[in-house]
Structures are given as C-alpha cells and as structure tokens.
Amino acid sequence: MARFEFGAGVADFVVQPADGQWTVGQAVTVTFYDAQVDGTQYTDLLNTASEPITSVTSDEYGGLPRFWGPDGVTGMWASAGGGSRAYMDAHSVTSIGGGNGAVESVNGMTGAVTLTAEDVGAVPSTAVGAAGGVAALDADGLVPAEQLPATQAVVSSVNEKTGAVVLGADDVGAVPTGTAVLLTGAQTVAGVKTFSSVPVAPSTNPTTDNQLSRKAYVDATAYAGEWSPADHGLLAWAFDPALAQSTGLFPGSGPIRVTAVRLRSAATIGRIVWFATGYAGGLQTGSWAGLYNASGSRVAMTGDMSTAAYEPAEQHDAGGGTISSPLTAAYSAAAGIYYIAWRMVYNTSTGNGPMMLAAESSAGAPPNIFGYTAVRRFGVFSSSTATTAPTTIALSSMENGANRFWAALAA
C-alpha cells in the first residue's frame, strides 16, 4: 500500500485562544489518532527525510510541517493537547508507495462536504462581540468598554455630597490630625489640661528637671536619708518621734490636748496613735479622741475610751511603746492639715493616765506657731469639760500648750 503526505497545507495550522482572540500556536506538539474521541494513536509516521517520527511540532507561525502518514491512511484526527481533535486529510496529489491521492472524506464526511467553524474546532465569526459569544479586541489589544458587563452598584453620593467630593475630618466624625493626643509617639500638647482622675505615670524615675514625677519618687526624695511616717506604718505624724525628749509627760485629767498633723496624700484613716512611756489602764467615762479638719470641724472620732473597744492598751515595756484607739468608722481623708484632739479622765484610784511622748517642752508657754502661717501645731483647751468629741473646736481660741505631745494617724 501507499503512504500519503500530510501537513504544510493552507489549513494545516495550530491556533489557540489568547486574551479574547485566536492566535497561532508556536512550537505545539501534535499527535494523531484513528478516532475523534479515544481511539488509537498513530505512531508510524515519517518526516520528509523518511525518518520515523511519532508526532510533529508547529513552527513559529503555527504551521505544521510536511510528513508522511501511516501506510494506507488518508485521514487522521489531530490533537494539539486541547479538549478536542480536528480531522486532517492527506494531500491527494502526493503519495509514496502507490495510490492516486484522491480525497476520500473530509473530517470524516463524504460527498459534497460543507464545513463549519465547529467542524474544525473554531469559534464562528458571528460569535465575536455577540452576547453569549466571545469578546473582540480593540486596536490596543483590550476588550472594548461596550462589551464589558454592566457595573452592579454605582455610588450616587458620599456623606450626602455629590460631584467632586472632598471630605474632611468633621465630615466623617473624626478629629483633625494634630488636634488629638496620640496613644504612641512623641507629641507636643499645648494649653492647660484638667484630668478627672490622677494620671498613672510609668514606673521609671524622672531624669531631667522638667519631667513629671511619681508619688513614690517624690516621697522617697522628700525623706531622703530621713525616716517618714510610712517607714513606721503610719499615715502622718506630728514629728519624727526619735527627735522627742525621752521622758514622757502626762496630758492631764480633763483638758483637751491638740496636736496638728499634715497628711501629704489622700488616705483612709482607721485609728489615732500615741506613744506611751507607761500606762496602767483605767481611763474613766468622758475620755475620747477626735479628728478635725483645717476649719475645726470634726470628721471622725473614737468611742468612749473607758470601754474595752476604744481604750488604749496598757504599756509596761521598758522605754514605752505605741498605743492607739480606733475610730468608730474609717474616714477617707483628702490631703491636708488635720488636728488630733483628745481628752483623758484619769482613774480615781491611781490618779494618773498614760505618760505620753512629747517634744522638748521646757519653755513655760511656747508659742507653737512658726513662720508666717496661723497654724498652731500644739495647743490645749484647759477648761473644757466635754464628755464626747465636740462637733467643732474653735482653733482661734486654742491656748498655747506648754507640752508638745506626739500623735499620729494610721490606717
């Protein structure tokens, strides 16, 4: 039998879709079969040099080279690796090994054959740019705007504005740049700022003169090298007790003794504290202690110090020790000056009460007012007979006491 010649014909090209249009397929490997679907691949092919080959490759223009098909085969189904195969006829004019090369069929059809784009695996020209078809490309290789799908949603206005809209911070409920305090980064804040609560500073200490300071740093610096009330578990005291005279003094039975203290920061006060060099107990009814503000108004008080709940504990230790009386209710105090006032009525059997620590009190009538303020740090109401803490004390009428008793406040 004879081999027939294939390829290098006017329709022997490989095409492929690219960017919405058909282009030639360069360097595409084409194989051949005996059926449009499935079937058996023809591998008994010859190139023009009569060398055995199993497939052919398209050139740079997509054209297939001339080659010889299997013996006696006048048509094959060609596959370029796509989803379909195209029928390829042998040339009727050329054969080797016999035969006259007449066309027996076209793409498997005989008679007066008319081929369509579908018959050769192509897209009809009527489908280009048509609905349900394929898009065309303009001169720039782009799909024309009229062939693009319609936009589903169109913005008609922005924040009730139309046209060339320009939005500012107020339009979107925002604060303009440079007018808000940022959470991070360096920033200069002008003007006076009032805080509704105390700001919390970082745990580090200031290193330059104009940096803000934490309370703990200020407290430590203020008492640098010295003892503070906090070092002794106290909130405020009249003075460092280590600087008082070592011999205690009796406050006396009946008069109201007064000692001023300064509370440097807000605190909750729970008891009034003294230091007794000795005390055998036995205070009588009419003994009390009270806490007064800078205007002389009572803000807290103890109960009857003749009762077990409020009487200071006895003190018999060598050198004495701390004694105290609790308030009837804890008091949340703001920072400021407070006056501790107390009255003790001695028992009738021993005729004495606590002997209390005091500062040097040798002057017959020390003024107890220092500097240019009217604060009297120590005083006495010698003729008072109040049996409970009065609601107010007249600070301007307070006498200069000869004895400067130490007193303190504690939680």
DSSP one-letter string for 8-38: SSTT-B-EEEETTEEEE-TT-EEEEESSSSS
- End-to-end CA distance of the chain: give it in Å, rounded: 121
Q: pLDDT at position 105, please?
A: 67
Nearest-CA neighbor of 289 among 248, 340, 330?
340
pLDDT (tens digit, 9 = 90+) per residue, 253-264? 999 999 999 999
Asked if 109 and 242 sit in the same domain, the reply is: no
Residue 98 has pLDDT above 70, yes or no: no
Q: For the chain, how are helix, strand and coil distributed in percent, rounded to 5? A: 5, 30, 65
- Residue 155 belongs to some domain of the structure: no
pLDDT (tens digit, 9 = 90+) per residue, 71-91? 999 999 999 988 789 999 998
Token output for 294: 């800078």
* Residue, of 280 and 104, whose pLDDT is higher: 280
* Residue, of 206 and 37, whose pLDDT is higher: 37
Report the domain count for the chain.
Answer: 2
Residue 231 has pLDDT above 80, yes or no: yes
Contact 43, 69 (CB under 8 A): no
Contact 359, 239 (CB under 8 A): yes
The full 3-state SS of 275-327, as one line of letters, equals EEEEECCCCCCCCEEEEECCCCEEEEEECCCCCCCCCCCCECCCCCEEEEEEE
Which range (127-131, 169-173, 376-380) has the least confidence? 127-131
> Cα 229 to the chain's mean position, in Å?
39
* Residue, of 100 and 153, whose pLDDT is higher: 153
DSSP state of 127: G
Residue 193 has pLDDT above 50, yes or no: yes
Q: Which of 108, 127, 146 is the last residue of a domain?
A: 127
Q: pLDDT at position 402, please?
A: 81
Q: pLDDT at position 143, please?
A: 80
- Residue 172 belongs to some domain of the structure: no
- Residue 13 belongs to some domain of the structure: yes
Asked if 256 and 123 sit in the same domain, the reply is: no
Residue 350 has pLDDT above 80, yes or no: no
Mean pLDDT of 319-344: 97
Asked if 234 and 355 sit in the same domain, the reply is: yes
Token output for 410: 């504690």
Token output for 292: 């007064």
Name the amino acid, one letter, at 44: D
Nearest-CA neighbor of 158 among 170, 172, 175?
172
Mean pLDDT of 333-358: 92
Q: Which of 102, 127, 152 is the last residue of a domain?
A: 127
pLDDT band at 101 (very low <50, low <70, confident <90, very high): very low
Asked if 252 and 116 sit in the same domain, the reply is: no
Q: pLDDT at position 114, please?
A: 80
pLDDT band at 40 (very low <50, low <70, confident <90, very high): very high
Asked if 246 and 97 sit in the same domain, the reply is: no
Domain of 289? 230-410
Mean pLDDT of 147-164: 79
The CA distance from 274 to 355, in Å, is 10
Site of tokens 């200490």: 205
Which range (33-42, 92-101, 212-221) has the least confidence? 92-101
Asked if 276 and 390 sit in the same domain, the reply is: yes
Task: Express as a percent the part of the chain with pLDDT over 90.
Answer: 52
Asked if 123 and 237 sit in the same domain, the reply is: no
Q: Which of 127, 143, 175 is the last residue of a domain?
A: 127
- Residue 87 belongs to some domain of the structure: yes
- Total-model pTM: 0.53
pLDDT band at 170 (very low <50, low <70, confident <90, very high): confident
- Residue 283 belongs to some domain of the structure: yes
- Show Cβ contacts of residue 269 under 8 Å, excluding neighbours closer than 6 positions: 235, 291, 300, 327, 330, 331, 332, 333, 409, 410, 411
DSSP one-letter string for 232-264: GT-SEESS-GGGSEEEEE---SSPEEEEEEEE-
- Residue 137 belongs to some domain of the structure: no
Residue 330 has pLDDT above 90, yes or no: yes
Contact 376, 369 (CB under 8 A): yes
Mean pLDDT of 37-57: 94
The mean pLDDT value of the chain amounts to 87
